Structure 1
Amino acid sequence: MINQSALINLPEFRSYVASFPENPPRTIALEQKIEIGTGFHGKWYRSQREHMLGWLLVQECRERKNGKDPHDASAQGMWSRLKCSPLMFWVAEGAQVLGGVLDEAERAASAASAIRPTDGDPHGKMMRGPLPWSVIAKALRSSPRPVSPEQTDAEAVPAFERLISKNASYRSLRNWLVIPTPAPVEERTSA
């Protein structure tokens, strides 16, 4: 049997993420409750959507820098390294993970913020309890189709540019950003 979760690569995951609402209500409420995420601690992003889109392009650029194709990199590996409760919760909410699971994830985020009042360890590990990649992948596969690659790039590139403008350590990755140019439409001539 094919493991469906392993088949979601970084660019495909980015297309799903680009289709999610920018400020869903439960994510906003969670950020306000735990005081982590958008608007807290001088973060570069203005929404968790911008956060994830920028971060995914960083991951794709790192793959290219290391001589790999991002289409061959499973998003599961990236998910296993995340350490931001609101970001992970936002992905789950956007993917329409069931409400009971979101309730568990909210409790995990609250518990993690009691241990560390900023993102980082142990947030990712605690969030992956109720939100393992298999839950996210299943929800994604059940979600409406992701947006087109062109629309995804139109949403993600500004997020990436904002991230690298605010964080110098990622600027060198700009050299590895690849945005396909749409093929020209052949003009039809009348005979």
Structure 2
Amino acid sequence: MKIKETPLKDCYVIEPTIFEDGRGYFFEKYNEKKFEELTGMNGHFVQDNISKSSYGVLRGLHLQKGEHAQAKLVSCLEGRVFDVAVDLRRESPTFGQWYGIELTPENKLQLYVPRGFGHGFSVLSETAVFSYKCDNFYNKESEGSVIWNDSELNIDWQLPLDVVQLSDKDRILPTFAEGNF
């Protein structure tokens, strides 16, 4: 496993070491001990979530706040997604900055999104199956959010605006300036 730093503090891309032969391939998707050695961060996960979405679906930007804050390790199991992490930690030197990466089953990359970050993704393929490993349990009362098309963040979701599909909840999220994080 290789850990690559992103421009955002404490946010990492995980690239597996892949062993291939005529039968196929094998790789270790995650190793808590190696992750902690390479990043110095706690990598213990307690909940796995899977979502399936169609082309143009945009989910985000979401986070859990306070004692229920979650770090996430995300990957794409089927299709293609553009995954985005936004540093919403006010004390961070990268506060208000975002990082995006395309995740696919072919590139086998994962993104580690630390606690205090907003997270979202857009679906670039006909369908996509997305995996989230979380280091804390979900708590509805601890939800935080920022609207996907916030003008201050100016995120390029890699989709034409006329195809973006949002949940009713994601249509009315607060702006970055309103600070619901």
How does the TM-score come out when normalised to structure 2?
0.24
Which of the pair has the greater relative contact order for Cα pairs under 8 Å at 6+ separation? 1
How does the TM-score come out when normalised to structure 1?
0.23
